Structure 1
Amino acid sequence: MKTSVILHGLHNEFTLDQMKACIELAEKYGGSFRHVVTGIQITGIEKDDKEQFISELPDGVTTVIHRGVNSLIACVGKGHCKNGQMETKELADYVERKHYGRKTSHKCKIGISGCGRNCPDAMVKDIAFIGTSQGFMLAVGGNTGMRPEAGKILARKLTIEQSKKAVDILIDWYAKYGEPRERMGKLLERLGNPLEGVDL
């Protein structure tokens, strides 16, 4: 029986050495590559080889988890793109290091875009930061799939530090109050805005 493994690198970026090592692993185990929203998927691996395959992943590359903070996609941001309004790397690094893999009631996807062009499709993530000339806009509760929906805008003109505080509050709230298999957008509908009245 065949299976697949979805890989995750630091805010979905892979170094050349990591990619070379992943290519060598795919060749060794007879896999092929497929890009998916949450990372890189290597398909065609024998199910009996999956655990060994995972144990041989290069440093800095993990498998995607399916319940919890499992996807962070950020564009290159200001300084690396002519359209960038906000720098994205600092916030992406913070979220990745503090929250990636954290258990929540269901998957939690985060998108960070340096401008309104929204290359990482942030508005359809559970938590979205969109750069503007005046700071980040924060939207919560986006979703793709059978019932796609853009997130609800909860805050505007956030600094990077305010954005860090907001994401901490949101993920703590989701981990504490989310019911089994409840996405963040449904929790927002059920309990309301957890940032209301909070001094970010």
Structure 2
Amino acid sequence: MTLPPLANIPFLNKRVKFPVTPHIPGGLTTPEQLRQIAAVAEKYGGRLKIVGNGITIMGLSLADGEKALTELGCKPESFIAKSVRAVAMCPGKPDCPMAQQDSTALGLALDSEFFGQEVPGKVRIGVSGCPNCCAEVFVKDIGLFGLPKGFTLVVGGNAGRHAQVGKIVGENIPAEEVPAIVRAILAYYRQHGRTKERLGQMIDRLGWDDFLTATIPAPYRPQAH
């Protein structure tokens, strides 16, 4: 999905200076890209800050921010309140000895399909390769962590001002079936969610039974085991 130009984002176009964060899926970068980001920051007089899975160039004007993103050949991170944000993911297999699933491969697939999509409110997705949950999946709107037989799905978390812990709604889900389930969850959210209502708040309002029936295949629901 194409994200709007920075100038079209209302709260940004009123700022004299603002941070520019190139979208780097999974935080996976190269020495060449890091050198390019540093060169662009230096060119436009920006400062660099490492934020989560990305690198923010701080202190740029709107015009310079647009130029910087063009030169880097990157989409910006989503500033829009009603969109799917960048997917957070831990290294997973084969890079982490604790990993039980390949969280990076799944995380990149989810980021490629869902990043920037419009939804009623902010959606954060996290993928961890093991139950240590380094991607903080229990406070994501949609979270997944790996076990030997597949991924466990957690829904309804929120680390914002109205924090809440998500609930386990699926178990032993093969990685290849996760995207279809996420599509179903987002479709349900678009159908029933109110403007700026988080996913977990919507489910609490409507009831978990209806949500589970509509979005999670029966074999993966926890009560089926």
Q: TM-score, normalised by structure 1?
A: 0.89
2:62 aligned partner: 47
Q: Which of residues 61, 64, 71 is equivalent to 2:77?
A: 64
> Mind listing any 5+ residue stretches in structure 2 that lack a counterpart?
1-15, 221-225
Say which SS state the counterpart of residue 212 (structure 2) adopts.
coil
TM superposition shift of 1:38: 5.8
Matched, 1:106 2:131: no
Partner of 1:169: 184
Aligned to 1:186: 201
Structure 1 position 196 matched with structure 2 position 209: no
Judging by fraction of residues, say which structure has more strand: 1
Moved over 6 A (4+): none
Identical residues among aligned pairs (%): 31
Counterpart contact for 2:140–2:166, Cα < 8 Å: yes
Residues of 2 paired with 1:76 and 1:189: CA distance? 32
Amino acid corresponding to residue 98 of structure 1 in structure 2: E
Q: Summarize the alignment of residues 145-156 of structure 1 with structure 2, pairs less than 5 Å apart.
A: 145-156=160-171
Bigger drift between 93-102 and 38-47 goes to: 38-47
Shift of residue 30 of structure 1?
0.9
8 Å CA contact 2:25–2:86 kept in 1: the answer is no
Report the AA paired with residue 124 of structure 1. Answer: V
Instruction: Tell me how far 1:39 sits from its aligned partner.
Output: 2.6
**Pair member with larger Rg:** 2
Q: Which residue of 2 aligns with 1:22?
A: 37
In structure 1, the partner of 2:95 is 80
SS in 2 for 1:131: strand
Task: Give the Cα separation in 2 of the matches to 1:176 and 1:53.
Answer: 37
Count of equivalent residues: 198
* Equivalent in 141, 149, 154 of residue 126 of structure 1: 141
Instruction: For 2:55 and 2:139, locate their aligned partners in 1 and report how far apart those are by CA, in whole Å.
Output: 20
Deviations 1:2-47 (A, max 9, x none): 2111221123322222221111111111111112236322111123
Partner residue, 1:140: 155
- Paired residues of 2:22 and 2:69 also in contact (CA < 8 A): no
- 1:34 match: 49
For 1:168 and 1:139, the matched residues in 2 are separated by: 15
Q: CA RMSD in A?
A: 1.9
Structure 1 gaps, min length 5 = none
Rounded Cα–Cα distance in structure 2 between residues aligned with 1:31 and 1:175: 38
Cα displacement (A) at 1:110:
0.5
Q: 1:90 to 1:189 in 2, by over 3 A?
A: same
Larger deviation, residues 175-184 vs 124-133? 175-184
Per the TM alignment, residue 48 of structure 1 is displaced from its structure 2 partner at its CA by: 3.9
Q: What secondary structure does 2:22 align onto? A: strand
